[in-house]
Structure 1
Amino acid sequence: MERPTLAGRTLKFAVLTAIVLAVLYPFGLAVGTSLTGREESIANGGSYVLLPSHPSLDAYRLVLSGGQVTRAVLISIGITVTGTALSLLCTVFLGYALSRRGMLGGKPILLMVLATFLFTPGMIPTYLTVKELGLLDTYQALIVPVLLNAFNVVVVRSFFQSLPDELFEAARMDGCSEWRMMWRIAIPLSKAVIAVVGLFYAVSYWNTFFNAILYINDPTKHPIQVVLRQYIFRGSGQAGADVAIVRDLPAASVQMAVLIIALVPILLAYPFLQKYFTKGVLTGAIKG
């Protein structure tokens, strides 16, 4: 391939820079506004501030002072950790079972999984099922209906099928059971796909919003995304017991503080998962 010209490299740099700025600017605006004090907010007409001259953490102290936001964050963390662990466990087990040749009932089960791509359950049947199971107003209602994702099952199954059959044949000759082959061979060689699927599940559970509104009627059980909506649309001074204190802070600062708190956990998860991506790729490169 020919080396790109100076004009081509300059154009690529300009385009990538514009994309990065377009992504970072709204995030920087949210962070800057969350650090803005009352006086500076009034001086700017109550609008958003990118670089506050006197940053203040008062908005964060308020929303993390043990009130509604703190409780919602803890609820979301619990749902995300528990739901992701259970979903990964079920997805890996089902994906591995469907990837093995000769599994009893494997084809009918696979057809059932693939059929969900064409025939998705509606909102009313799903709600009635959750109600009949007695899961309304429980945290299980935010996990059980979305425990398995058909797309993730197919992805994990395809990755397991791509592993060399010679490894499993050698293990079987050494007396390994299917259970041991899955834990000792398939899963260690599949860290990359498991990390990606785990991230998909974690983001989905952390961003739980519609199901929470649909199944949870008790405001004390709402996750962070529902509370964030309350702060944004109802006004930061109308969220529970914090009314009297919030009036001493700019509404936009409190709203953006809640927004940043809702974003940070997922942003922090990426660096820790990146090393598993790298390990999975390196292992996959030498697994044959």
Structure 2
Amino acid sequence: MTGTAQRTPGRRGVPTTPGRRGRRPGESRGYRVFQVVNGIVLTAVVVVTLYPFVTIVARSLSDEAYIISGQVNLVPRGFDLTAYRLVTSDAMFWTNYRNTVVYTVVATVISLVLTTCYAYVLSKHRLRGRGALVGVALFTMFFTGGLIPNYVLITSLGMKNSIWAVVLPNAINVFNLLVMKAFFESLPAELEEAAAVDGLNTYGILLRIVLPLSKAIIATMVLFYAVSFWNSWFTAFLYLDRQELLPVTVYLRNLIAGATGAGSAGVVPDADAVQAAATLQSVTIVLTTLPILAVYPFLQRFFVSGVLLGAVKG
């Protein structure tokens, strides 16, 4: 009929008027409430996460008098770089810093090579003995030989006071291994079959087909291993006795121990000395975390995609 809007049956028999868009689930009141609550929760998590680090940065840039009086929170008071000059003028700090860079690079390369090879082998379901290899990896994930047997083993192998005592004992992280294995299993098998038909052997397939398609997971593993080795201190503290071989994390640990050692020994430490030590700790923490903060933004895209691809098998 002319001039009369024709009503047509909508979803579940509910009539709708032409030209009027139905409300999508994403535009419902409940979804908008969820978005608001989700935004508030995530903002709170960001604030709680950033608060300690921002406070450490503020303390490292503040005058010691304001720190002693407790007036430094999120904003530096009495801008002062004396603590930075004291730390950076210490030759041992730079020696330990260089050691950390060397240990991290060497350990990450070794771990990445071993994890990639092991994960690629475990991703082949037709491999004989695959279950035993997976079992060995999982067993080491839940059970270890203990601190004393590990110390005796490293010492008997002649690796004490050497770089190998730091980079070899934790060369393969089982969690990273399983994530990488899941990623390799998600790759299409037809690609490797076609490469085999073209004459490539196993190593050629891995180097020329699999690895170029695995940039995301490789970047993720690099980030995982690099952060782990960069922050590690107990292994070096256990196996390295010479000061010039220690990483910067042990240097930081010694600063913290020096600030709290007098109190733990039953001697009341001077408040000014404790605050000065706390300032040096703040400076060392900032200088130690700067490389990770500088590298992470460039690897974040690969990090997120790599974890998703490796954790969910399509």
TM-score where L is the length of structure 1: 0.84
Q: Report the alpha carbon displacement of residue 39 of structure 1 after superposing the two structures with TM.
A: 4.2
Are 2:247 and 1:223 aligned?
yes
Give the match for residue 79 of structure 1: 103
Task: Write out aligned runs for 1:1-288 (5 A).
Answer: 1-3=25-27, 5=29, 7-42=33-68, 45=69, 48-103=72-127, 105-235=129-259, 250-277=276-303
- Name the residue aligned to 2:268: none
Q: Which has the larger radius of gyration?
A: 2
Listed one character per residue, the Cα deviations across residues 92-118 of structure 1 (whole Å, up to 9, x for unaligned) are 111112223444654433332222234
- Alpha-carbon distance change, 232 to 118 in structure 1, aligned in 2, over 3 angstroms: closer
Paired AA for residue 186 in structure 1 = V
1:242 match: none
CA distance in 2, matches of 1:79, 1:4: 54
The amino acid of 1:252's aligned partner reads A
TM-score when scaled to structure 2? 0.78
Q: Equivalent pairs: percent with the same residue?
A: 38
Shift of 1:88: 0.1
Question: Matches of 1:183 and 1:124 in 2, distance apart?
Answer: 40
Query: In the TM superposition, what whole-angstrom CA distance separates every residue of 1:171-213 from its partner, at most 9, and x where no partner exists?
Result: 1111111111101111121222222222221111111121112
Q: Alignment partner of 1:191: what SS?
A: helix
CA 1:47–1:169 in 2, change beyond 3 Å: closer, same or farther? same
- Looking at structure 2, the residues matched to 158 and 7 of structure 1 have their Cα atoms a distance apart, in angstroms, of 36
Kindly report the root-mean-square deviation, in angstroms, between the aligned alpha carbons of the 2 structures: 2.9
Which structure's relative contact order is higher, taking Cα pairs within 8 Å and 6+ residues apart?
1
Q: Which runs of 5+ in 2 are unaligned?
A: 1-24, 263-271
Distance in 1, matches of 2:66 and 2:71, equals 10
CA contact 1:72–1:221 (8 Å) conserved in 2: yes
